[in-house]
Amino acid sequence: MIYLKIHDTENGSMVAMCDEALIDKLLSDGEVVLDIKTYNSFYKGKKVTKDEAKSIVEQVEPIYSANVIGKESIELAISLKIVEKSGVLWIKDVPYAHSYSMD
């Protein structure tokens, strides 16, 4: 399951997705820290399946930015072309990405 939340901004929508198993984690590797636990409300919208998330995100326009954490969420974001595979970073064994549209 994936937590999905769409944030409305003046520039368009911001998609936040996080794998359910990571929602209350603090991930760190040296100076890189992903504090999902403290900021889980940013990601905690609907808890959905990958197919449900795909259906929801496909209806969102324009997508201005995306914050994505976790293997399942990253796979989906890449398939929806809101994140490029080359833009995926890793902390320990967890992939994450941030993307922005400059259109």
pLDDT recorded at residue 103: 63
Task: Indicate which CATH number applies to the domain containing 42.
Answer: 3.30.1860.10
Range of the domain at 95: 2-100
Sorted by sequence, the CB contacts under 8 Å of residue 20 that are 6+ apart come out as 1, 2, 3, 47
Q: Total domain count for the chain?
A: 1
User: Over the chain (103 residues), what is each successive 10-residue block's mean pLDDT?
Assistant: 95 95 94 94 96 94 93 97 95 94 71
